[in-house]
Amino acid sequence: MLRKELVLVGHGMVGQRFLEALFDRPGADAWRVTVLAEEPRPAYDRVHLTSWFSGTTADELSLCPPEFIAEHGIDLRLGEPAARIDREARTVVTSAGRQLRYDALVLATGSYPFVPPVPGHDAEGCHVYRTIEDLRAIRAGAADAQVGAVVGGGLLGLEAAGALTAMGLRTHVVEFAPRLMALQVDEGGGEVLRRKIEELGVLVHTGAGTQQITTGEDGRVRGMALSDGTELAVDLVVFSAGVRPRDQLARDCGLPVGARGGIVVDERCRTADPHVWAIGECAQAVDGRVYGLVAPGYAMAEAVARELTGDEGSFTGADLSTKLKLLGVDVASFGDAHGTTDGALEVLYANSRSSVYKKLVIGRDGALLGGVLVGDAEAYGMLRPLALSGTPLSVPPEQLVLPASFGAAAGPVVLPDEAVVCSCHNVNRGAVRAAVRDQGCESVAAVKKCTKAGTGCGSCVKLLGTIVDEELAAGGVERSRGMCEHFAHTRAELYEIVRVKGIASFSRLIEEHGAGGTGCDVCKPAVASILASLGNGHILDGEQGALQDTNDHFLANLQRNGSYSVVPRIPGGEITPEKLIVIGEIARDFGLYTKITGGQRIDLFGATVDQLPTVWKRLVDAGFESGHAYGKALRTVKSCVGQTWCRYGVQDSVALAIELELRYRGLRAPHKLKSAVSGCARECAEAQSKDFGVIATSEGWNLYLGGNGGMTPRHADLFAADLDRETLIRTIDRFLMFYIRTADRLERTAPWLERLDGGIEHLRAVIMDDSLGICADLDELMSRHVSTYEDEWAATLAQPERLRRFVSFANAPGVPDPTVRFVPERDQIRPALPGEDGPSPQPALIAGPELEVRTR
Amino acid sequence: MTTALLTTAAVEIHDGSRWIRVCDRADLVPGRGVAVLLGTDQVALYLGPDGEPYAVENRDPFSGAHVLARGLLGSRGDVPVLLSPMYRHSFDLRTGVCLDEDFAPDGSPAVLRRWPVRLTEATTAGESR
Ligand code: SRM
Ligand SMILES: Cc1cc2nc3c(=O)[nH]c(=O)nc-3n(C[C@H](O)[C@H](O)[C@H](O)COP(=O)(O)OP(=O)(O)OC[C@H]3O[C@@H](n4cnc5c(N)ncnc54)[C@H](O)[C@@H]3O)c2cc1C
Ligand code: SF4
Ligand code: FES
């Protein structure tokens, strides 16, 4: 078959989507495809470009696996841009002088960052923010810079500011308009956004233009002069003052372009020349707009792919809704956000204490037209499709903006089937329901696969989940909220059952409230933790012993070769030289690997099961206690050195950290708990990344709740300021007990708080104002914990019965497991790899204590 | 001092040629395991919720560590399962077959070796005063 020639100019996000859409269709084999790409690498995810700074590699950002190019026989020419188009001859000439003939030419050249022509704009130290190469240059420049400035306070500008801040630069944002993100949000929203961003330490200058970039003798950026007279000392500048369509190729060959740039196309994305199409950011769509978002570009790509494979496609305009997390602040705008429709009314909720701003634009007929959400954009997934569908609201609009804790009680919001749920892939609610009903998709993952919904920006995934659940329920499929197949209850429900009925054993609980079966590694440890947090004695006693995960069972952490680690508690990270020496001696005598942990204490690795009691005997004798590194319990309360030594400290952070650690040690919870206390706002203890963090002020203590490191980091929220010591401790007591009572299994405080109806406001009402009347209960539970705490290891050693389990072999006590082998590395031991021969542990020990162990 | 005969319930494993007593019934806590040595083989012994003893190899095929005796027992549907403490794979206690993955990382089938096991009344010579 003689194939026609298709040339694509530009291999960006839209270009790649065009290729995918084309080769998804049966008619694609009519074309031989050549792609001219200016950048040195295949298409990558520009939307998530900023994540490159936090470690996402260029490969991970790539949108185009090499197999894709090979499989479809595409001739991809990287680093070879198109230089000229001859429409008469239907040829493209590349920068390398190659001439390519085409039957169809698709332009997807995107945009370039606009750099205002102020004096000094091209000095060394000035950057733009569009490609991976740009980011490389910024990172290199940031290495020896202290202060950065971003010109432009729009979406990209704030993203760039976030990146600079994260690299440790003091950062200014200079915005010409009177507010940030002027395109997307209104004045009220801009105010809240500004406050939130300033809280993060970014310095915002609005209503100010950049007049000049000043340079030093070496030609490098030194400062910036603003139109309001301000002079900033900066050594790195990022221009993010908007983009302009790259339409030069089209201009040069006489194709019409819009007044403000952009290759003019019709509703089929065709230019004035029937052989030439333009898609993405380089095109001016038929509605006269140039779209700077990826979703409209994708829609254009699909329209052209259809047309080139013998079908019809069209693109007449798109919705500009956006939802972003900028510097950790949720910002969303959708539909007619600025209320420009005739007769439109506004419904507003603003709360400057919690920095939340929500505005809905309501049409004369009561339909939702659009809105702006700042600080809490939870409702975006639901509101956007509602606004775009144009159907009248089924609930009063106030209900849609008020926090749930205000008892917004009326019925659920009903979305019509035509409402577009996923705008990236233009999938409506009806299509999602059909996938569940008719195509047997029983999960969001299945729906994603089958409809593509949710696979773009991801902002609709939550709503997808709701629709899938509703549809399954409608079809009679019960989606169990239960913990596992053995319990139809959530952890919080089981907690209440155990508490109210006074149940003290797993067997009674599963018998009376279980769904059949004998339990598993999900419900057994979870129930064990509930029993423990309600004060049911030593965790190894009686039946409880059989519920614990291996770590709790041996009061130590299992390592990859079957040995264990030992972590003694070092409250607040403070330790005497004597105690340090004891740890050193024990490690030396037992040949353990030692490492300082990220939690300000010392981990001793490589103990065999048999060694655990003897190691611990020596630790307990020297005054150490279990550090609960193995339990879902309080880990550490980190501290900075504080006022006692540090010249900036305003309170004794070490003393408070020790007090908190001793108060909450041993407290069993749905997941581990971490805390820290910093002696001043410099925050050397990283308290804002903890479940509960405390920062000293000259007036008292600021309490931060719901922070998390780990896989999904979250900064803690400021919960209360300038508390005295008693109020602080009482508040933490209640916070912890309320969390323990209501959280799901393995749910850290951060996701719990995010999920909590009414959020932090509700939490304040419950534990500061006692809105549920449970504070006395919570206080009593905590005082019970504090008064009944005992060190698990001391208690274990005191009872020979409890030591029976610490043998490698029941029929050969004293014989260590010969398969646990170590080899030397950097003057210590490490587990031997398979095939590596290492000495197995000697049946200890030098100068060990005598332990009475009851073996029968 | 007199010598008397004491009777204890024992656990015995068949090593292919004979029954070998490996420990007392009292060494087993229902739902929790112990490891025993059978020659050079390591065996994980469990007392199931039904009161029946189970004996499978102690080596977790996914980590290569000899830790299965330190897992938890439970059920999946009607199947009694052993849950590995390392990466939480579950194994059918009756057949030794892994329910989550068919093959271990080294390519071998993820099936635990099993041994015949029984509870007996054993009589031992003991001493009493
Ligand atoms: C030892 C230590 C690493 C080190 O050498 O520094 C460590 C080691 C382990 N961490 Fe960690 N984490 C250690 C500090 C941290 C920190 C930093 C901190 O605490 O300041 C974090 C991030 C902060 C946070 O938790 O918010 C951290 C986030 C995690 C996570 C992710 C939690 C999350 O919410 O996403 C896990 C996985 C989990 O718990 O499910 C984890 C799990 C683990 C486990 C338990 C994995 C396992 O099951 O074996 C490791 C136990 C090793 C052992 O045998 O002791 N570790 N881990 C640190 C012990 C601190 C201590 O003294 O107790
Ligand atoms: C940091 C950042 C964050 C963003 N965040 C979002 C977001 O959250 N949501 C959203 O919707 N959008 C976002 N965008 C915008 C989004 O990335 C663009 O809308 C999208 O990339 C447009 O795709 P495109 O293919 O039209 O242009 P591009 O992706 O820019 O691709 C155009 C390609 O054509 C190449 N090219 C240009 N001229 C030639 C030539 N003559 N010959 C050969 N090749 C040429 C260019 O080098 C480029 O590789 C963001 C952009 C940036 C930079
Ligand atoms: S980061 Fe991963 S590997 Fe390192 S200690 Fe924590 S859990 Fe283990
Ligand atoms: S809206 Fe972007 S993935 Fe659905």
Could you report the per-residue pLDDT of B17-30, keeping only the tens digit for each? 899 999 988 888 88
Q: Do residues A856 and B24 make contact, with C-beta atoms less than 8 angstroms apart?
A: yes
Could you report the per-residue pLDDT of A585-606, keeping only the tens digit for each? 999 999 999 999 999 999 999 9
Of B35, B74, B88, the CB nearest to A524: B74
State CA A385 to chain mean position distance: 24
Decide if A808 touches B, using CB distance below 8 A: yes
Q: Residue B77 and residue A815: Cβ atoms within 8 Å?
A: no
Residue A629 near ligand 1, beta carbon < 6 Å:
yes
Instruction: Name residue, tokens 């030289």.
Output: A577
Report how far residue A145's alpha carbon sits from residue B91's, in angstroms, rounded to the nearest whole number. 57
**Amino acid identity, residue A387?**
A
Q: How far is CA A234 from CA A157, A268, A275, in A?
A: 16, 47, 49
To test ligand 4's pocket by mutation, which of A423, A429, A450, A466 has the most ligand atoms within 8 angstroms of CB?
Answer: A423
Residue of B nearest to A801 (CA): B27
Of B36, B49, B80, the CB nearest to A811: B36
Region of A768 on the Ramachandran plot (φ > 0 left; ψ -120 to 50 alpha; else beta): alpha
Report how far residue A370's alpha carbon sits from residue A139's, in angstroms, rounded to the nearest whole number. 38
Decide if B30 touches A, using CB distance below 8 A: yes
Residue A110 near ligand 2, beta carbon < 6 Å:
yes
Could you report the per-residue pLDDT of A619-633, keeping only the tens digit for each? 999 999 999 999 999
Distance (Å) from CA A26 to ligand 4 centroid: 26
Instruction: Name residue, tokens 């903006």.
Output: A401
Decide if A539 touches B, using CB distance below 8 A: no
Residue A331 near ligand 2, beta carbon < 6 Å:
no
Residue A322 near ligand 4, beta carbon < 6 Å:
no
Could you report the per-residue pLDDT of A360-372, keeping only the tens digit for each? 888 888 888 888 8
Could you report the per-residue pLDDT of A413-444, keeping only the tens digit for each? 667 888 888 877 778 889 999 998 888 888 78
Report how far residue A15's alpha carbon sits from residue A281's, in angstroms, rounded to the nearest whole number. 11
Q: Residue B37 and residue A547: Cβ atoms within 8 Å?
A: no
Could you report the per-residue pLDDT of A660-671, keeping only the tens digit for each? 999 999 999 999
Nearest alpha-carbon partner for A11 in A22, A3, A19:
A19
Q: Which residues contact B82 (CB under 8 A, 6 or more apart)?
A: B33, B44, B46, B54, B56, B68, B71, B72, B73, B90, B91, B93, B112
Residue A633 near ligand 1, beta carbon < 6 Å:
no
What stretch of H or E contains A108?
Answer: none
Report how far residue A216's alpha carbon sits from residue A735's, in angstroms, rounded to the nearest whole number. 54
Q: Residue B75 and residue A524: Cβ atoms within 8 Å?
A: no
ipTM of model over 0.85: no
| Higher per-residue confidence, A749 vs A397 | A749
Distance (Å) from CA B49 to ligand 1 centroid: 34
Chain B positions in Cβ-Cβ contact with residue A520 (cut-off 8 Å): 72, 74-76, 81, 83, 90
* pTM for this model (two decimals): 0.55
**Amino acid identity, residue A263?**
I
Decide if A835 touches B, using CB distance below 8 A: no
Could you report the per-residue pLDDT of A683-731, keeping only the tens digit for each? 999 999 999 999 999 999 999 999 999 877 899 999 999 999 999 999 9
Separation in Å, CA of B81 to nearest CA in chain A: 8
Separation in Å, CA of A856 to nearest CA in chain B: 7
Which of the 8 DSSP states describes residue A62? B
Decide if B34 touches A, using CB distance below 8 A: yes
Chain B positions in Cβ-Cβ contact with residue A558 (cut-off 8 Å): 67, 70, 85-86
In a 3-state reduction of DSSP, which class is residue A545? helix
Residue A552 near ligand 2, beta carbon < 6 Å:
no
Burial of A71 (C-beta count, 10 Å sphere; 0-12/13-18/19+): exposed
Query: Omega into A845 within 30° of 0, i.e. cis?
Result: yes
